[in-house]
Structure 1
Amino acid sequence: MIRLLRFLKPYRFSVVLIVLLVFAQAIANLLLPTLMADVIDEGVVKSDLVYIIRTGGLMLLVGLVAAAAAITASFFTSRTATGFARLLRLELFTRIEHFSLNEVNRIGTASLITRTTNDTTQVQQLLIILLNMMINAPLMGIGGIILAVTQGGDLAWILVATIPILAVALIGVMRYALRLFLSIQVKLDRLNLILDEKLKGVRVIRAFDRSEYEQQRFDSANEDLMRTTIHVNRVVAALLPAMTLVMNLASIAIVWFGGMRVNEGTMQIGNMMALLQYSMSILFSLLMVSMMFVMLPRASASASRINEVLALKPGIVDAPETQTANQGRGLVSFQHVTFKYPGAEEPAVYDLSFTTRPGELTAIIGGTGSGKSTLAHLLLRFYDVSQGQILVNGVDIRAIRQQDLRAKIGFVPQKPQLFSGSISENVRYGKKDATEAEIWHALQVAQAQEFVSALEAGLDSVVTQGGTNLSGGQKQRLAIARALVRQPEIYLFDDSFSALDFQTEARLRMALKEETREATVLLVTQRVSTAMEADRIIVLDEGRMVGKGTHQELMRSCEAYREIVATQLSLEELA
């Protein structure tokens, strides 16, 4: 938790002001019982009306100061805590943005969302309590004890004996609750994971009629979270009535023994009333401390989870001294590239070497799990190669700034990802300052102009989250237009035509050939019809390159390629 306080630096003056205001509030609250004792002993008992009015007016003024300080402190506390949470969420989001896929997979998407939202809220709520009570509670407690000793004399032993009992109970309960609160956050991660899978996989779940099974999974995780939450709340809830009971017994003892001393004439009634007020002040301070301790275990667990994200260093970072790769345009060379996913036993690709130049189309074909998409991820530097190197324009991509490298590439993923907004906003994701003419040209090449023009709002037509209001083929064509509009040096298509019919794909490939004639094109595909016109076809099998050449050359020399061709031609003939 302490490490997160650095995000309070922009609000340090507000924090100082809050401390001063809370200090003033505590001092004012401590003065009131003493003034009340004076009113009773010097004014009421002696029938001194002038003293009562003068001291009562002073009490009113002190009360107004306490109220004004409390209101102002609450205002600045809310603003400071909200700003702190905003900076913390921004830092988390920025840090997660720079994570490689390895770090994201290590923590988990659902857990990262929980840490950025729920965990940050827990820390924010604790900060609000700390800023309001970090001065108020100790000052009210310690000041109350000192003034109680002054006003109550030998009766103060009642409070001195009571407070250690309460402190031991408080510490014991909170140490036990800390483990439970940490468990709650982990179980909340699990619940979010199941909910995320349910929402993303709703089509598959319904198609296989597994809704009841998913409901049981959710109910089980939800009930587990509920049981733990109820248990920890019962433990914490028992603390408040126990503390109240002990302090009320202390108050009864004060009235009992104080009344005997007043009757004996060894104690004034005002002093006894002040002692009762200070005992309530001490109780109030302990209640504030208990509120902090109720929040502290859960916020501490949340802070630990947040610090884990902030302390996690991205596995892929820019080199200390980067190089430009402007000599040439789109020359890509894989040199003895071997890559193994973290935790995998065998490499996904092994000793892969090839070069593709501007104006060339290189197709990468192979069966499922052969390593085709891995090559795309390596070129984009989503992962770093285990051995060998990848060169762009003669420069190792590890020596190029990631931003500069990816600016050279127009990437169309295997599963097109669209964002909520309009069609024009999604296409401009590739080039934020693209003109309307450039957008329409990209849509025309991507064979998307016809269906976009048919929409009532055209480019301003709404795209829902994930593009759920569009068909698979429409989403793929918009994703292709998004890559085309940036006019990069390198085009990287990762099985990007799978949702298109053969006629649309043929028109698209013809348009792309003209549009990308000066660029390097890498095409990952499973379709022979898509790959056969390439200048170079690379055949992968279990991560190894088993063939390289044109369609005709591979038909003569590569058995694996002939098997792929024979299988697909048979399927097409049956269709």
Structure 2
Amino acid sequence: MRELLKLLRGKYLWMTILTPILIIGEVIMEVSIPRLMADIVNVGIGNKDIGYVATRGGLMVVMALLSLCFGAFAGWTASIAGMGFGKEVRKKMFYRIQDFSFSNVDRFSPSSLITRMTTDITNTQNAFMMVIRMMVRAPIMFVSASIMAITLNGELSLIFLIAVPILGVVLALIIKEAYPRFQSMLKRFDFLNAKIQENLIGIRVVKAFVRGDYENEGFEKAAAAVRDTQKRAERLVVLNMPIMQLMVYSCILAVLWLGGKMIVVGDMGTGDLVSFISYVNQILMSLMMVAMSFTMLVISKASVSRIVEVLHETPDIPDDAEGDPQVADGSIEFDKVCFSYKGDLSSCALRDINLKIASGETVGIIGGTGSSKSTLVHLIPRLYDVTSGSVKVGGRDVREYKQETLRNEVAMVLQKNVLFTGTIRDNLKWGNKDATDEEIIEACKAAQAHDFIMSFPRGYDTEMGQGGVNVSGGQKQRLCIARALLKKPKIVILDDSTSAVDTATDSKIREAFRRELADTTTIIIAQRISSISDADKIIVLDNGRINAVGTHEELMKNNEIYREVYESQQKGVA
């Protein structure tokens, strides 16, 4: 929490400082009122002095109003500080996630990151608000009320001084046992969020296969797991309140019993006993506040540790290049490259990759499922770092570039085409936020997307559903290709990006690329040989190794894997 508190700045910091000050004012007023009550009973009523009673009573009303004002303003400032704290933590966490490489995101999983940015930050925010209010109010109230009670009657004060250590021990035991239970509960939340996310993303598949009942059953199990772990954690925490109430009422009974005897023998005034009981209530209520605060802190401790875990995560691909060299051209070189997702050379997805691609070349990549075609091209814009060897772009190791500089020159259309909520124009401008309408239309024509865009009533201003649900798979692919072209990069990578496009449209896209991207290095991963047959050279991957490199004609003569793929596809056509 100390680390997160460093995020407080400006207005939120001042509100955080002001809240305890207002709380102190509120407590001072509250603690002073019972003493005035004792004076009214002992002096005013004892001497039948109505003027004294009225004066002291009026002062009590003023103090009560001041206490109300202090408390109300403290609530207002605490709300601003708490909401601001939550905003700053959420912003810091989101910005940190933007620095993550693919492997960092894989390590946490998207559903877990969502839980951490919502549930965990909300828990932490609530705990923060409680700390700057209750955790200030309770100790000050306890100390002030204890001092006032001791000055009234030292003997009776021993009662709650005995109760306090007992409560402290019980509270410590509860916290120790509850913390791991809340950690387990939050992990169950991660799984529940993953289940919901998976269902909502794949809702069309669920409907198509009529698997709603199966999904309902899975959701019920996940929700029941959250409920059970939460019940197990709360079952322990709820013991706080009954234990506190038992101690409160026991102390009050003891005070009334012993205090009554003192009044009978004349060792204590009636007003003093009334005032003392008020102080005992304040002392024990402050302890109850502490108990409630610690309950919230136990929950938030698990959340804080999960938040800090994300903030402490070191990006696997640091952006620590010295200087900011520019990418000279689109040439690419793989030099003795090995890559493992685990960072272990004994289990490499790619092994002994040696490859040179000249600037402006069109290169096709083909291979069976799991041959690491996508992994190979992910190393070019440094979405992953090599485990050994080096990848050079424009004659420099990719690790010598700033990530932004490198990735601005490498346009990549991934296997999974993603569009965002907004208009078609907004989505296309992800490639270049300053693109003119003419540039947008030119890119869309090259990607064979202009005609279907203009068939919509609002054309380029057509609103896209979340994820682009209101366009077909082929249309989505063409929009993503157009978005990549708007970057005007030195390297374009199409990772099986025309699989949902018919062969005629695929041919037109390739023709447009040859015509308008003559100086751009183009890498095409494809399952159809027809999509890469006219490439300058074709790379055949097999089990993470380069099996052969050559033109279509050369591979047809010399490479068995390529020839088998071609012949099987020709049989399919026949």
Alignment-derived partner of residue 133 in structure 1? 134
Q: Summarize the alignment of residues 47-446 of structure 1 with structure 2, pairs less than 5 Å apart.
A: 47-327=48-328, 329-342=329-342, 345-446=346-447
User: 1:65 aligns to what SS in structure 2?
Assistant: helix
Which amino acid in 2 is paired with 1:414? Answer: Q
Per-residue CA deviation, residues 246-288 of structure 1 (Å, 9 max, x unaligned), is 2122212222222232232221111000011001101210111
**8 A Cα contact 2:142 2:282, kept in partner:** yes
Which amino acid in 2 is paired with 1:269? Answer: T
The alignment's TM-score, normalised by the length of structure 2, stands at 0.96
- Going from structure 1 to structure 2, the CA distance change for 1:326 and 1:305 (only over 3 Å counts) comes to closer
Which amino acid in 2 is paired with 1:117? Answer: T
Within 2, Cα distance between the matches of 1:177 and 1:326?
Answer: 55
Q: Does 1:30 align with 2:54?
A: no
Alignment-derived partner of residue 552 in structure 1? 553
User: 2:7 aligns to what SS in structure 1?
Assistant: helix
1:153, CA displacement in angstroms? 3.7
1:370, CA displacement in angstroms? 1.3
User: 2:81 aligns to what SS in structure 1?
Assistant: helix
Deviates more, 1:340-349 or 1:245-254: 340-349
**8 A Cα contact 2:365 2:525, kept in partner:** yes
Which amino acid in 2 is paired with 1:367? Answer: G
Within 2, Cα distance between the matches of 1:439 and 1:523?
Answer: 22
Alignment-derived partner of residue 479 in structure 1? 480
1:295, CA displacement in angstroms? 0.3
Which amino acid in 1 is paired with 2:36? Answer: L
**8 A Cα contact 2:330 2:360, kept in partner:** no
User: 1:497 aligns to what SS in structure 2?
Assistant: coil
Deviates more, 1:157-166 or 1:513-522: 157-166
Q: Summarize the alignment of residues 489-568 of structure 1 with structure 2, pairs less than 5 Å apart.
A: 489-568=490-569
Which amino acid in 1 is paired with 2:78? Answer: T
Which amino acid in 2 is paired with 1:232? Answer: A
**8 A Cα contact 2:428 2:479, kept in partner:** yes
Deviates more, 1:160-169 or 1:180-189: 160-169
- Going from structure 1 to structure 2, the CA distance change for 1:105 and 1:326 (only over 3 Å counts) comes to closer
User: 2:467 aligns to what SS in structure 1?
Assistant: helix
1:358, CA displacement in angstroms? 3.1
Within 2, Cα distance between the matches of 1:16 and 1:9?
Answer: 11
**8 A Cα contact 2:335 2:353, kept in partner:** yes
User: 1:134 aligns to what SS in structure 2?
Assistant: helix
Within 2, Cα distance between the matches of 1:208 and 1:369?
Answer: 27
Per-residue CA deviation, residues 47-102 of structure 1 (Å, 9 max, x unaligned), is 11221122122212211221111111111111111111111111111111111111
Which amino acid in 2 is paired with 1:191? Answer: L
1:443, CA displacement in angstroms? 1.3
**8 A Cα contact 2:535 2:551, kept in partner:** yes
**8 A Cα contact 2:494 2:525, kept in partner:** yes
User: 2:153 aligns to what SS in structure 1?
Assistant: helix
User: 1:539 aligns to what SS in structure 2?
Assistant: strand
Deviates more, 1:429-438 or 1:53-62: 53-62
Within 2, Cα distance between the matches of 1:464 and 1:154?
Answer: 73
Within 2, Cα distance between the matches of 1:515 and 1:25?
Answer: 73
Per-residue CA deviation, residues 277-336 of structure 1 (Å, 9 max, x unaligned), is 001101210111011111011100111111111111001012341451343x21222222
Which amino acid in 2 is paired with 1:461? Answer: T
Deviates more, 1:6-15 or 1:362-371: 6-15
> Which blocks of at least 5 consecutive residues in structure 1 are unaligned?
none
Deviates more, 1:377-386 or 1:351-360: 351-360
Within 2, Cα distance between the matches of 1:243 and 1:319?
Answer: 55
**8 A Cα contact 1:443 1:481, kept in partner:** yes
Which amino acid in 2 is paired with 1:551? Answer: H
- Going from structure 1 to structure 2, the CA distance change for 1:115 and 1:427 (only over 3 Å counts) comes to same
Deviates more, 1:13-22 or 1:492-501: 13-22
User: 1:307 aligns to what SS in structure 2?
Assistant: helix
**8 A Cα contact 1:173 1:235, kept in partner:** yes
**8 A Cα contact 1:389 1:396, kept in partner:** yes
1:245, CA displacement in angstroms? 2.6
Within 2, Cα distance between the matches of 1:493 and 1:320?
Answer: 27
1:450, CA displacement in angstroms? 1.2
Alignment-derived partner of residue 17 in structure 1? 18
Deviates more, 1:560-569 or 1:5-14: 5-14
1:142, CA displacement in angstroms? 1.8
Give the share of equivalent positions with the same residue, in percent: 39
Within 2, Cα distance between the matches of 1:318 and 1:160?
Answer: 58
Within 2, Cα distance between the matches of 1:357 and 1:320?
Answer: 24
Within 1, Cα distance between the matches of 2:492 and 2:431?
Answer: 12
**8 A Cα contact 2:327 2:406, kept in partner:** no
Within 2, Cα distance between the matches of 1:196 and 1:343?
Answer: 29
Within 2, Cα distance between the matches of 1:74 and 1:62?
Answer: 18
Which amino acid in 1 is paired with 2:409? Answer: K
Alignment-derived partner of residue 6 in structure 1? 6
**8 A Cα contact 2:327 2:409, kept in partner:** no
1:115, CA displacement in angstroms? 0.9
User: 1:466 aligns to what SS in structure 2?
Assistant: coil
**8 A Cα contact 1:323 1:395, kept in partner:** no
1:502, CA displacement in angstroms? 0.9
Which amino acid in 2 is paired with 1:499? Answer: A
1:447, CA displacement in angstroms? 0.9
1:507, CA displacement in angstroms? 1.6
Within 2, Cα distance between the matches of 1:391 and 1:356?
Answer: 10
